[in-house]
């Protein structure tokens, strides 16, 4: 019997995968946008990274630190 692939991935690993995907796709979308200047691209990328970091810290607190 072959286990389902999602049964092998924990919730914390799914959160990390989503975080990496948001960074990859978000930064790629910003870099490929021809309608914004380079300075605004840098600000958008920093915003994506900052919000992702805040989300990661909130996620870590919710699942690991809240019950302790």
Q: Is residue 1 assigned to a domain? A: no
Please tell me the total count of domains within the chain. 1
Q: Is the pLDDT of residue 1 over 50?
A: no
Residue 44 located in a structural domain: yes
Is there a domain that residue 37 lies in? yes
CB 53 within 8 A of CB 15: no
How many Å is the maximal CA-CA distance in the chain? Answer: 54
Residue 19 domain-assigned (yes or no): yes
Judged on CB neighbours under 10 Å (0-12, 13-18, 19+), 59 is middle
2-55 pLDDT per residue, tens: 556 656 666 667 778 888 898 999 999 999 999 999 999 999 999 999 998 888
**What is the pTM assigned to this prediction?**
0.69
- Residue 61 in this model has a pLDDT that exceeds 90: no
Range of the domain at 36: 9-65
């Amino acid at each position: 019997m072959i286990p389902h692939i999602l049964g092998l991935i924990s919730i914390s690993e799914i959160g990390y995968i989503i975080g990496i995907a948001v960074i990859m796709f978000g930064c790629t979308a910003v870099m490929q946008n021809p309608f914004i200047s380079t300075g605004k691209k840098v600000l958008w990328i920093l915003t994506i990274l900052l919000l992702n970091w805040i989300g990661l810290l909130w996620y870590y607190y919710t699942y690991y630190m809240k019950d302790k």
